[in-house]
Amino acid sequence: MLIKTLAVGPLATNCYIVGDEESKEGLIVDPAAEGARILAEVGRLGLRIVYIVDTHGHLDHILANDEVRRATGAPLLIGAGDALNLAHPDPVFVRWLGISARFAPADRLVQGGESLPLGALTFRVLNTPGHTPGGISLYGEAAVFTGDALFNQGVGRTDLPGGNWQQLEQSIKSVLFALPDETAVYPGHGPATTIAFEKTGNPFL
């Protein structure tokens, strides 16, 4: 499995390009901005993108959705609870970031427990609400992409519309911390970490 991390957009959001090296099938997690840069990297890696997955619907994670979807033809997936954010982003975020983009609804809504095959690889959707009502993580091949649920020595904000600390704490402790300790954690912002490190050293938990 190959994983390429690109920090893009005004909030340095992590966009992940994930690929099966044999089949050359790939997926993109959170095409947050700078669509041309993301697509150039996909081309350099020689991947055929078969899924675009948004971990949640906040504006700083979705700005390049439409550009990347139109270029690759891949379906756009998001957790059902965040579906409205794609076509109708929160105006607070729009004003805050001062950015305009073309927004469109998801092609498919996903729920926890669903599997996404990617060549010889398989990724499982995990429901991890709390930062947003429909937040999801993507787990497979000893890696989990957590969006803004869990960071290296941090957790997602819950003071924004739809945030809920009790939900987020439950998502982290009951869902993410149930994964094997050696699982690599790829968050929505900042450096990667591991489940073991966050279990023992995250100051918010």
Q: What is the CATH number of domain 2-201?
A: 3.60.15.10
pLDDT (tens digit per residue) in 53-73 = 999 999 899 999 999 999 999
Residues 6+ apart with CB under 8 A from 196: 181, 182
Domains of the chain, by residue range, sit at 2-201
* Spacing of C-alpha 79 from chain mean position: 10
Q: Tell me, what's the pLDDT at 85?
A: 75
Q: Tell me, what's the pLDDT at 161?
A: 84
CA dist 87 and 65 (Å) reads 11
Q: Tell me, what's the pLDDT at 30?
A: 98
The maximal CA–CA distance of the chain, rounded, in angstroms, is 43
Q: Tell me, what's the pLDDT at 95?
A: 63
Smallest CA-to-CA distance from 137 within 66, 55, 70, 199 is with 55
Question: Are 140 and 121 within 8 A, CB to CB?
Answer: yes
Question: Are 80 and 111 within 8 A, CB to CB?
Answer: yes
pLDDT in tens, the chain (205 residues): 999 999 999 899 999 999 999 999 999 999 999 999 999 999 999 999 999 999 999 989 999 999 999 999 999 999 999 988 776 666 666 666 666 666 778 999 999 999 999 999 999 999 999 999 999 999 999 999 999 999 999 999 999 889 999 999 999 999 999 999 999 999 999 999 999 999 999 999 9
Tokens read off for 204: 């918010």
The CA-CA-CA angle for residues 119, 120, 124, to 5°, reads 90
